[in-house]
Amino acid sequence: MNFGNGKYQALQKIYAEQIAPATVIDMVEQSGLRGRGGAGFPTGKKWRFLASAKGNQKFVVCNGDEGDPGAFMDRAIMEQFPHTILEAMCIAGYAVGAHQGVIYVRAEYPDAVKNLQTAIDQARADGILGKNFDVDLRLGAGAYVCGEETALMNSVMGERGEPHARPPYPTEAGLYGMPTMINNVETLANIPNIILNGPENFPNTKIFAVSGAVQKCGLVEVPIGTTIRDLVENYCGGAKAGHTIKAVQIGGPSGGCIPASLFDTPLDYESLKQVGAILGSGGLIVLDETTCMVDFAKFFVKFSASESCGKCTPCRVGTKKLEAILDKITSGKGTADDLTQIKTLSQQIINTSLCGLGQSSPNPILSALHHFSAEFEAHLHGICPAGVCFQGYTITDKCVGCGLCAKKCPVGAIRGELKSRHYIDPSVCIKCGQCAKSCPVHAITGGKHE
C-alpha cells in the first residue's frame, strides 16, 4: 500500500499500531458518535451488530442519497473529501470483517459522482482499495425513498426502490441476503478523526445546511448542543434587514418547525424530539414573517406525497389526502373539521406506515399546527397572516361596511350588507387590488408578498 503524502493517516495508524478490529469498534462507541442521517442510532453499536453477525460476506454501505429539501452537507463532503469517506469505509470494513463496500450516491450530484470515482481509482492505484477491501459506486435514479436503508438496498440490487418491513434488519440480512451496515456520509466522515485523535477528543460536531431568511446561508459546523439562537443569530447573522425570524424548520420532510420562542433549544437529538422536530440530516430552513406556515407545511406534505414509493396505504393515499385538505385550507375553503381531520389522519399515518418516510411524513404539518395554530385558524376565516395564500385579497374585521370596495370591484366578487363586514368570494376575485386601494380604513389585506 502506498499511503503517499499524508493520506489515510487514520488507516495507517491502525496498521502501524496494530489496533485490533474490536478496539476500533470500542473507539467508535466511546466517541458517542451517532448516525448523522437522521435517526441518530449509535454508530458503534451498529458496527458491533455487524461485527457479530454471521455470514460468508458482509457489506459496508455508505448512504449518499441526500434528498431532504434544503440539505446539502453530504454533497459538500462527497465532492470535497471523497478520500475521507473511502478511508472511513476501509476502517469500517476492517473493524466489522467486511471486504466489500458500496457508496450509493444520487445521480443528481454529478460532481460528487465524478470525484468519488476519481478517488476510488486513485485509492485502487495506490493499493489501498482492491486487496482487502474494495468499494463500488452505485447511482440512485432519483427516488427520495431510496435514502431509506431497506429501499436503498433494493435499489443497489437492481430492484424497485421500495422499503420492506424490518426485521430482518440489514445487519442480519441485507444486501443479497448478507449482513450489511449502512452509514451516512457525514457519519463516516467523522471516523478518521476519532481514530486519529482518540475518542475522548472527538468534538462531536454536526454540519447544518442553513438556508432561508438569514443574512448568511451555507454550511455551518457547530458542536452538537449549540442553541438554535446561537446558530441563527451568531453564525448566520440573524434576520434579513427589516424582517423578523419566526421559526426554523429542521429535519426536512420528517422534521418539524420550531418557533422563535423556543430558540434556546439546544441542537441535539433528544431536545429537538421534545419540541416536535428531529435533528435529521441537518437541513435547517429559517423562516420569517413572509412565510405562511400552512403553505410551508403543505410544501413538505406535498413532497412526502410525491416521494412516497406507494407501497403502503397510509403513506401513499394518506399523505395525498393531507395535501388535499391543506389545499382546501389554503384556498380559503377550510373548516374547523378539517383541522380535526388533519390531526387524526396524521396520527394514523404515523402509527401505521411501513417505513420511516411514511411514519414521519406528517411531522411538519403536526408541528406547524401545534406551534402556529393561530395561523391555521386565521385561514379558516379567509385570512393568511403572511399574505401568501389565497393569492388574492381578504377583508379583515376592521371593515366598517361602507360598501365602497363592492362598488369598485370590477367583477362583483365582494358581497355584504351595508354597515356589516363584507366578504370576497375567492372563486370570482381576479386579484386586481382595486378594493384594497379604495378601502378608507385599510381593512383589506392580501396580494402575494405585498
Report yes or no: 440 and 404 within 8 Å, Cβ to Cβ.
Answer: yes
Residues 6+ apart with CB under 8 A from 169: 49
Indicate the Cα dihedral angle 413, 418, 421, 426, nearest 10°. Answer: -10
Nearer to another protein, 262 or 354 (CB): 354
Nearer to another protein, 95 or 325 (CB): 325
Neighbours of 374 (CB within 10 A): 10
- Min CB(112)–another protein separation in Å: 23
Sign of CA dihedral 27, 29, 34, 35: positive
- Min CB(84)–another protein separation in Å: 33
Neighbours of 235 (CB within 10 A): 17
Residue for cell digits 454550511?
219
Neighbours of 248 (CB within 10 A): 29
- Min CB(305)–another protein separation in Å: 6
Nearer to another protein, 64 or 356 (CB): 356
Report yes or no: 308 and 358 within 8 Å, Cβ to Cβ.
Answer: yes
What SS3 state is found at 259? Answer: strand
Nearer to another protein, 9 or 352 (CB): 352
d(CA 72, CA 85): 16
Nearer to another protein, 7 or 333 (CB): 333
- Min CB(354)–another protein separation in Å: 6
- Min CB(306)–another protein separation in Å: 6
Give the interface with another protein as residue ranges (CB under 8 A): 143, 145, 160, 162, 164-165, 305-314, 316-321, 324, 344-345, 348, 350-354, 359
- Min CB(332)–another protein separation in Å: 16
Nearer to another protein, 344 or 420 (CB): 344
Pairing of strands 59-64, 180-184: parallel
Phi–psi pair at 4, nearest 5 degrees = 65, -160
Nearer to another protein, 284 or 345 (CB): 345
Q: Grid coordinates representing 59?
A: 457489506
Nearer to another protein, 82 or 163 (CB): 163
56: left (phi over 0), alpha (psi -120 to 50) or beta: alpha
d(CA 178, CA 176): 5
Report yes or no: 214 and 232 within 8 Å, Cβ to Cβ.
Answer: yes
- Min CB(164)–another protein separation in Å: 8
- Min CB(126)–another protein separation in Å: 41
Nearer to another protein, 159 or 221 (CB): 159
- Min CB(304)–another protein separation in Å: 9
Report yes or no: 180 and 344 within 8 Å, Cβ to Cβ.
Answer: no
